[in-house]
């Protein structure tokens, strides 16, 4: 997730996702039903994290084929995806005891509202602090999060997510879909937990040429215009044509000979339609300093790259036509067949 202050884009949609409030009690939904819907997902996320941390600590301290106390509790730790989620209290106690044997003294555990930061390259100390927080505060943090949700004042993000989960759960119940099939349908382990972050999730680059218009609000009509500084992008363009422009990687942005009754003009000056941010606009000196030392020379807010020449833009466009995301799907991969009750074989 890329924060708004970094990409400098129009914040309207992201902020409303957090700020708008909805009263779902009018549907008959109670707080107890809300909590019962979200708790299993939150518990599974907690147990998964604890299992990952103890396995990493065992690997780092005792090696891949370790036989010490950390490896023993890591091997015995239950798989949170093997069945409906439940907090493995006995396993948590065993892990706690093993940590006390190996790490003496144990580091202090931050308060419940001060969970240690996770980061790329998290090492032994980092995993230990996060695991201790899971063991000491994980269950209470779930209770606190659920208690803080008001069915009469749910944010747009939580309300949309909750309704989706409840619809899915009702389908499973009414059609008697067993747990194994549910896991298959959901991609084996996907957790659909509510997230409220003031940012926009970037899409993969493979096939991006086929998904115009661009940005979260569709305010940039082509890849070529994405590679322009924002002040050089079209301020207004026609939406509705399905004739593709292979040179610029977007749809044709002018009405056909029949006029504009079969589409509409998108005006990027209106709130929610702005095409700012994601700017390739850094001058040569700024870009050179940034490449030399990114931390000491961050790019201005909303700038993500250098101002390019037209030749460079079209080189990138040609590359994007053939780009493949990594890692590639193995050639022998076959998606699982999730058999539903009553479905023809």
Q: What is the pLDDT of residues 4-28, one digit of tens each?
A: 777 777 777 778 888 999 999 999 9
Q: Nearest-CA neighbor of 18 among 160, 113, 137? A: 160
Give the separation between CA 334 and CA 338, rounded to whole angstroms.
12
Residue 294's SS3 state is coil
**What's the pTM value of the predicted model, to 2 decimals?**
0.73
So what's the pLDDT on residue 12?
78
So what's the pLDDT on residue 15?
84
So what's the pLDDT on residue 45?
93
Give the separation between CA 241 and CA 253, rounded to whole angstroms.
7
Tokens 């549907």 correspond to: 27
Note the Cα 283 to chain centre separation in Å.
32
So what's the pLDDT on residue 141?
97
Residues 306, 280 contacting (CB under 8 angstroms): yes
So what's the pLDDT on residue 230?
94
The DSSP bridge pattern shows strands 236-239 and 21-22 to be unpaired
Residue 79's SS3 state is coil
Give the separation between CA 278 and CA 303, rounded to whole angstroms.
6
Give the separation between CA 83 and CA 178, rounded to whole angstroms.
10
So what's the pLDDT on residue 13?
77
So what's the pLDDT on residue 274?
93
So what's the pLDDT on residue 204?
87
So what's the pLDDT on residue 134?
97
Written as six digits, the tokens of 198 are 């003031």
So what's the pLDDT on residue 1?
58
For the chain, residues with pLDDT lower than 50 are none
Distances (CA, A) of 137 to 13, 144, 149, 282: 33, 10, 19, 45
Question: Which residues lie below 8 Å from residue 247, measured CB to CB, with a gap of 6+?
Answer: 224, 317
So what's the pLDDT on residue 2?
63
The DSSP bridge pattern shows strands 21-22 and 154-155 to be antiparallel
So what's the pLDDT on residue 17?
84
The DSSP bridge pattern shows strands 264-267 and 236-239 to be antiparallel
Written as six digits, the tokens of 268 are 């990027």
Residues 220, 253 contacting (CB under 8 angstroms): no
Angle (deg, nearest 10), helices 89-102 and 69-76: 170
């Amino acid at each position: 997730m890329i924060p708004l202050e970094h990409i400098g884009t129009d914040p309207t949609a992201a902020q409303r996702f957090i700020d708008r409030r909805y009263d779902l009690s009018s549907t008959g939904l109670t707080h107890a039903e809300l909590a019962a819907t979200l708790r299993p997902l939150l518990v599974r996320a907690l147990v998964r994290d604890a299992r990952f941390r103890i396995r990493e600590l065992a690997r780092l301290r005792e090696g891949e084929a370790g036989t010490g106390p950390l490896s023993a509790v890591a091997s015995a730790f239950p798989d949170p995806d093997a069945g409906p989620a439940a907090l493995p209290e006995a396993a948590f106690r065993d892990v706690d005891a093993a940590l006390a044997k190996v790490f003496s003294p144990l580091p202090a555990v931050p308060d419940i509202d001060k969970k240690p930061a996770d980061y790329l390259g998290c090492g032994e100390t980092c995993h230990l602090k996060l695991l201790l927080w899971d063991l000491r505060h994980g269950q209470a943090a779930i209770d606190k999060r659920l208690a803080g949700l008001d069915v009469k004042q749910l944010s747009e993000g939580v309300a949309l997510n909750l309704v989706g989960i409840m619809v899915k759960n009702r389908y499973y119940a009414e059609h008697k879909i067993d747990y194994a099939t549910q896991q298959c349908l959901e991609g084996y382990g996907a957790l659909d937990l509510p997230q409220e972050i003031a940012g926009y999730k970037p899409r993969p680059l493979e096939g991006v040429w086929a998904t115009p218009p661009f940005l979260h609000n569709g305010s940039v009509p082509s890849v070529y215009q994405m590679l322009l500084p924002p002040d050089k992008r079209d301020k207004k363009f026609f939406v509705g044509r399905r004739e593709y422009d292979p040179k610029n990687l977007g749809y044709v942005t002018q009405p056909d000979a029949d006029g504009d009754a079969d589409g509409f003009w998108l005006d990027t000056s209106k709130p929610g339609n702005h095409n700012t941010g994601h700017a390739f606009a850094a001058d040569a000196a700024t870009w050179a300093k940034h490449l030399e030392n990114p931390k000491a020379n961050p790019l201005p807010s909303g700038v993500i790259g250098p101002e390019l020449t037209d030749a460079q833009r079209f080189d990138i466009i040609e590359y994007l036509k053939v780009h493949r995301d990594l890692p590639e799907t193995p050639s022998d991969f076959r998606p699982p067949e999730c058999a539903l009750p009553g479905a023809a074989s």
